[in-house]
């Protein structure tokens, strides 16, 4: 039986800005680009969220929702340094760490000797030390697997701790809405709802074969999650293949000009995510993903293309021609070359 902790910083960028500038305390704060330059919100604090401000929202729209919103320019170097300090705290308890981003990670503490092996007390101590040393808060979830630990970390946000013991898995998962399951987005949740499946207890009434018929290979995953089963290990060296940003729009974008208008904001977010990567990656092929109003989708990439606005405009235009219909989702991204693996392969050939 594994003991997994999922640690998630509370509104990470905004929390650091409020920590470093006390004048921002108790005010609606967002980190992102300028509204004058079609900027996009990267994250915001809970005061801003109360007005409906969300990440990936245009800064201009965020200011309409919250005229007093203070938008701060991102300081990626500072965020990376704080993330390294948090990771250093994690490593005092376990080396089995899977970072998901700068501000969240899975930890496998199954064999950790601290606090007589109590994952709950380890999580409490991690939260205490991050608060004491770095003056920001983190939420944590403790559970027998990654799926449940991630749900648990969100259960009492912000600055919360939620524990699901092995004996509690059955009851907790039974009442869990299927919309909370890993990999279930709005489209899948809507389809499950039309089938009368609202909770995991409803989902358990379906056989594995029936779910596979309805949802393909994801049906087997649904069958397992409905029973709290998730055998995925914490991946110590989980190497990325892509970095991307995508946004689903409340109203379908009617034509190509409307899609092109959204590109600068998406690319700003993409560049911020690229800046979080360490030096062991190199950007390769840019790509664009479109999902049309009828849920058909297409992805287009181009080897050798630049990673600038003009290149993405050309890709988006070509992708739009494939459907020629209103668009509900735009994604932009970059394929990555793992320089660490390239180096290993070169060393192998040199032997």
Which residues belong to the active site? 104
Alpha helices (runs of H) in the chain, residue ranges in sequence order: 12-20, 46-49, 59-65, 76-91, 119-134, 146-153, 169-174, 186-194, 200-203, 208-215, 218-225, 256-276, 309-323, 339-350
CA distance 291 to 31: 28
Q: 224 CB contacts (<8 Å, ≥6 apart)?
A: 230
- Strands 97-101 and 104-108, bridge-based pairing: antiparallel
Which of 143, 226, 158 minimizes the C-alpha distance to 192?
226
Q: Taking a C-beta distance cutoff of 8 angstroms, is the pair 138, 43 a contact?
A: no
The whole-angstrom separation of Cα 196 and Cα 193 is 5
| Spatial separation of the C-alpha atoms in residues 65 and 67, rounded to whole Å | 6
Does an H or E element contain 286, and which? strand 281-292
Q: Is 190 annotated as a binding residue?
A: no
* CA–CA separation, 117 and 122 (whole Å): 8
Is 36 known to sit in a ligand binding site?
Answer: no
Q: Which residue positions form the known binding site?
A: 8, 103
Q: Report the binding-site residues for Mg(2+).
A: 8, 103
């Amino acid at each position: 039986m594994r003991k997994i902790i999922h640690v998630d910083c509370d509104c990470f960028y905004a929390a650091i800005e409020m920590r470093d500038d006390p004048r921002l305390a108790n005010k609606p704060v967002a980190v992102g680009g300028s509204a004058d330059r079609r900027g996009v919100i990267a994250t915001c604090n809970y005061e801003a969220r109360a007005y409906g401000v969300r990440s990936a929202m245009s800064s201009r729209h965020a200011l309409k929702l919250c005229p007093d919103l203070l938008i701060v320019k991102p300081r990626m170097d500072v965020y990376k340094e704080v993330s390294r300090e948090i990771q250093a705290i994690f490593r005092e308890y376990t080396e089995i760490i899977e970072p998901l981003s700068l501000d969240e990670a899975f930890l496998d503490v199954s064999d950790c000797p601290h606090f007589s092996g109590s994952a709950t007390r380890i999580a409490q101590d991690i939260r205490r030390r991050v608060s004491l040393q770095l003056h920001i808060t983190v939420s944590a979830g403790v559970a027998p697997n990654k799926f449940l630990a991630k749900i648990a970390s969100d259960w009492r946000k912000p600055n919360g701790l939620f524990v699901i013991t092995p004996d509690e898995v059955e009851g907790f998962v039974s009442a869990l809405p299927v919309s909370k399951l890993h990999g279930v987005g709005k489209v899948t949740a809507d389809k499950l709802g039309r089938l009368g499946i609202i909770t995991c207890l409803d989902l358990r009434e379906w056989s594995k074969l029936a779910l596979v018929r309805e949802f393909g290979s994801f049906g087997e995953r649904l069958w397992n999650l409905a029973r709290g089963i998730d055998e995925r290990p914490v991946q110590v060296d989980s190497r990325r293949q892509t970095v991307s940003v995508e946004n689903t729009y409340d109203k379908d974008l009617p034509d190509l000009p409307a899609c092109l208008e959204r590109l600068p904001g998406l690319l700003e977010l993409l560049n911020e995510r690229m800046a979080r990567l360490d030096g062991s990656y190199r950007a390769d092929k840019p790509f664009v993903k479109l999902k049309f109003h009828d849920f058909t989708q297409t992805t287009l990439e181009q080897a050798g293309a630049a990673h600038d606005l003009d290149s993405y405009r050309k890709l988006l235009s070509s992708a739009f021609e494939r459907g020629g219909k209103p668009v509900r989702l735009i994604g932009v991204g970059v394929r990555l070359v793992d320089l660490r693996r390239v180096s290993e392969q070169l060393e192998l050939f040199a032997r």
